[in-house]
Amino acid sequence: MTRSVRLRGAVGSLPAELTSFIGRRRELSEVRRLLSVSRLVTLTGLGGVGKTRLAVQSGAALRRTFADGVWFVDLAALGDPQVLAHIVSSSLGLRGQVTTTGMDALVDHLRSRNLLLVLDNCEHLLAACAALAEELLRACPGLSILATSREALGIRGEKVLPVPPLPVPDEDVAAAGVSQNEAVRLFCDRASAVLPDFALTTDNRATVAALCRRVEGIPLAVELAATWVRVLSPTQILEQLTDRYRILNTLRRGSPERHRTLRACIEWTHGLCTSAEQKLWAQAAVFREGFEPDAIDAVYLAGPEHDRDSPHPPVIDIVASLVDKSILIRDERGTRVRYRMLETIRQHGQERIQQTEDWTAVRRRHRDFYADLLARAEADWFGSRQAEWISRLRDEYANLRAALEFCLSRPSEVDIGLRIVADVHEKWSIWGLVSEGRQWLDRLLAVSPKRSRARLRALHSGIWLAIMQGDRDRAAVLLDQGRDLARDFEEPAAALIRQMSGYDAMFAGDFARAIDAYANALAAFRAAGDLRFQAETLDLLALSHFLAGDAERALAYCADGFAITQPAQESWSRSRGLWIAGMARWRQGASRDANRLEGESLRLRSELDDQFGITMCLETLAWIAVDDDPRRAATLFGVAARRSEVIFIAAITPFLSAFHDDCETRTRHALGNEGFQAAFGHGMSLTASAAVRYARYEESPAEQTSKPTPLTRREGEVAALVAQGMTNKEIAKKLFVAQRTAESHVENILTKMGFTSRTQIAGWMAETQSTGR
């Protein structure tokens, strides 16, 4: 038996909090909910993410729920699992002569009590904590346990709540509600503790937001960075954060040893991993912005290259362990699962592997995997899986960049780099990354003297992208190189360059020469049975005939293209053919048919998330609407203009500017300048998804503007003054409020409406007033 005595008047033992608790409303609510359905809840997450503070705050909020209080047990300093029960007993305030085992004493004490036990830092005593929790919960019906650990205890009935870093502001400062962001609030609170005059201002808020993004919202990192405001400005702190560890190694007196610096926190986590986990952590650091299971399976090597067949734990088992330890974060992307590391964690792994001879080999395996992934996508491109490949490759784009960087770092690797950029090909346009694609191509072509098929294909892509941006001088240089190199190869490889000769002629307005070059290339592609480039060249023939004024021939070539793309369930070439066919029918006066064709093209391009293609469809739909619905035309002009700010490709200028200018002039004449600007402003204010819905008649302007505004009365007044062109200072004077108050109102309007500029506020207000709302 145990003669235990609870300290008189004790209702718990939560540690006093020395700093304010910021944010975490969702997590606090979720802890309360989970404890209402389970008697064991474990908060998991990376060290420094705030698990302990969340547990303490949750415990404080739940005091009244538990008649015998909330009791905190700090296990960080405990190294011997044999004395775990005694440490818990001590933390509960038990005293007296113990005549039974520590566990018996605990059970005897807790059996009839209703309390919440907070077990903090269980990760290094995982098995012992799991056994203790399981036995106590089985024997003590009034007991609940809230545990913190870098991985779950793994016992029956446990509910696990992963604790993420704090949310950080979007890069668009105006639209992010910076002052209300939790990471920013934490930074400002801790900064003002060391520098009382510190405040978030118009001048520093963008920098503070960038700083919080740089440390990824990890509370420990935010707090450590904030301590530096006593000697550095936020701008200087951000500059120093290139090396996160160096500036974030400030000692925090009074904190546990493992939380005194960011490095110590991560080293503690690293020490809790097995050797296999440490090795995979280090090798996975080669990935940028995450990876999928097939990628880590190809890159991870447990032992030397010659030792691949020796027994090692399955890679997926090690990945699962690192997910459990919060080193890897699991993300679902539709039907696919990806894993990622916070950049701080990734850098730690990279530092470790860079100290060995394995780093180059790991980078090469990484590059080889992504070169092979692109090759598989290229081989499978002309078919029904285009949207699937686009999604996967977009997620992997940071890894493709890393692979190209490796290729440029060694002359012997350049040819593989050329294969990679050539295999990306049309994706540069789909992703709206034409400029970046050209840069990679030019750098690789400049250091690759080899007369290879990869170089020929890269020249084909380089010519195409240069012409799309209106750089015909550069295209001419690449065309000359392509014609010279094409002599080394049989058809249809050489036809790629002839196709681009036609493209260059088309942009020069020499449609007869373009048509002749395209027809020549098409014959080669047909002889080789290359359906993909047949379809692409048929589209270009159709476009050339349309621009030459022959809509009938353009439609005939579109039909030939559809005969290839439809049976294959291909989307990219088909969507382009539909766009061209829609323009041709518009020029023939068949607006209803033109709308149908453009709507179908827009649907396919939206499924592919083809940025340039979507913009072209929206522009063309504006032309079609001019005569029947000029207000819709003006709205679509606004939609296309907003997208063109982000996706600028000079190709639209020589091709279609005459149509654009004529249609816009007629629309302005029909609506008047004020009416045109109101509808145009509304189009500018639409989000990307809302714009596509509107263009496809899935949502009308009336439906959009009839939705209740989320603005308060005062915010509505401020929005009206913004629409009049007033500055924040003028608004403050008009409403008799402080300028900072006016700034806050404007920021709230931008955040609530999802806008990024005052111009969008003005456009929205004009549209609202025009509908009488």
- pLDDT tens-digit map of 460-496: 999 999 998 889 999 999 999 999 999 999 888 889 9
Bridge partners (DSSP) of residue 41 are: 146, 159
Angle between helices 591-608 and 572-587 in degrees, nearest 10: 160
CA distance 245 to 442: 36
pLDDT confidence band for 141 (50 / 70 / 90):
very high
Give the model's pLDDT for residue 10.
46
Across residues 65-84, what is the average pLDDT?
Answer: 89
CA distance 753 to 686: 10
Residues making up the chain, counted from first to last: 773
Q: Are 95 and 5 in contact (CB under 8 A)?
A: yes
| Backbone conformation region of residue 67, classed left if phi is above 0, alpha if psi is from -120 to 50, else beta | alpha
> Does residue 704 surpass a pLDDT of 80?
no
Give the model's pLDDT for residue 542.
97
Across residues 521-545, what is the average pLDDT?
Answer: 96
Q: What is the DSSP letter of 509?
A: T
| Backbone conformation region of residue 342, classed left if phi is above 0, alpha if psi is from -120 to 50, else beta | beta
Q: Name the percent of the chain lying above pLDDT 90.
A: 55
> Does residue 222 surpass a pLDDT of 70?
yes
CA distance 745 to 765: 15
Task: Determine the distance from the C-alpha atom of residue 267 to the mean position of all C-alpha atoms in its chain, rounded to a whole number.
Answer: 28
Q: Which carries the bigger pLDDT value, residue 225 or residue 594?
A: 594
Q: 146-150, 244-248, 584-588 — which is least confidently predicted?
A: 244-248
CA distance 129 to 733: 62
Across residues 124-128, what is the average pLDDT?
Answer: 92
pTM across the whole model = 0.74
pLDDT confidence band for 3 (50 / 70 / 90):
very low
Q: What is the pLDDT of residues 554-572, one digit of tens each?
A: 999 999 999 999 999 999 9
> Does residue 646 surpass a pLDDT of 60?
no
CA distance 203 to 579: 46
Q: Name the percent of the chain lying above pLDDT 70.
A: 88
Give the model's pLDDT for residue 97.
38
Give the model's pLDDT for residue 745.
81
